[in-house]
Amino acid sequence: MAALTGESLDNAVGGLTVPVTVVDLAESSVRDLNRALHSPDAARTTAWRVLNPRGAHSVACGLAEELAVDIEGHVGYYCAGMNQRATVTVHGNAGTGVAENMMSGTVRVHGNASQSAGATAHGGLLVVDGDAAARCGISMKGADIVVGGNVGHMSAFMGQAGRLVVCGDAGDALGDSLYEARIYVKGTVKSLGADCVEKEMRDEHVTELAELLKAAERDEDPAGFRRYGSARRLYHFKVDNSTAY
């Protein structure tokens, strides 16, 4: 693997400088990069910089250590999927399934994200500074997702737990078949999905949202958002409807 060391990067903690491992994907393969990120030596150099991703798929997946990985450019499918503990920053756009099945850590996309961003994510924080396409947060299971722009249709479909924050507008069928995930939207909602309803925005929700926006480094006023959640009608069995099942 072609890697350069000896550069310095301001650490987010205490303003310290730490060595950076630089990997150029014009010279190395994604497999080599991911192997290095998973190696026992990876944690010795906590800061990584990836050059020339050029839309490559599965970059920086399944990271289990507290690494900081900056990707300088656009990525393809499933970037930072199954993330644990690492902080992965994409300085560009991300393809389908960014942070898919994330368990913890932080993933930030400074551009736009394609469909299924944060799909099935169990924990951690996903921030998309731009727009996210269809099915953002599909089947989310506990993660927090903050989108600076708009989200596409069927976002948070079958969302089971966690919070989805949309600072722009939401497309059709928002929260369709929702379980217990919470949704906050600042802009307009084209339509709500089955069993998704607008709910009262109480003080505790304003406080919760303020904390999420702060974590995502957003400056929107939480009081300007509306809250949506499950009406809890779909997932309870009703004997009167037994012939329809």
Q: What is the pLDDT of residue 6?
A: 38
Query: In whole numbers, what is the pLDDT of the chain averaged over residues?
Result: 92
The pLDDT confidence band at residue 11, using thresholds 50, 70 and 90, is: very low
User: Residues 80-89: what's their mean pLDDT?
Assistant: 97
| Angstrom distance (rounded) from CA 72 to CA 51 | 5
Cβ count near 100 (within 10 Å): 22
Structural tokens at position 22? 């630089």
Angle in degrees, CA 14, 107, 162, rounded to 5: 110
CB 74: neighbour CB atoms within 10 A? 19
β-strand 226-230 against 87-90: which pairing, if any? unpaired
- Give 191-216 pLDDT, tens digit per residue: 999 999 999 999 999 999 999 999 99
Residues 6+ apart with CB under 8 A from 163: 144, 145, 181, 182, 183, 184, 208, 212
29-84: pLDDT as tens digits? 999 999 999 998 877 778 999 999 999 999 999 999 999 999 999 999 999 999 99
Select the more confidently predicted residue: 14 or 237. Answer: 237
9: helix, strand or coil: strand
- Percentage with pLDDT > 70 across the chain: 88
Provide φ and ψ at 207, rounded to 5°.
Answer: -65, -45
Q: Of 181, 102, 188, which Cα lies nearest the Cα of 150?
A: 188
How many whole angstroms from its chain centre is CA 222? 20
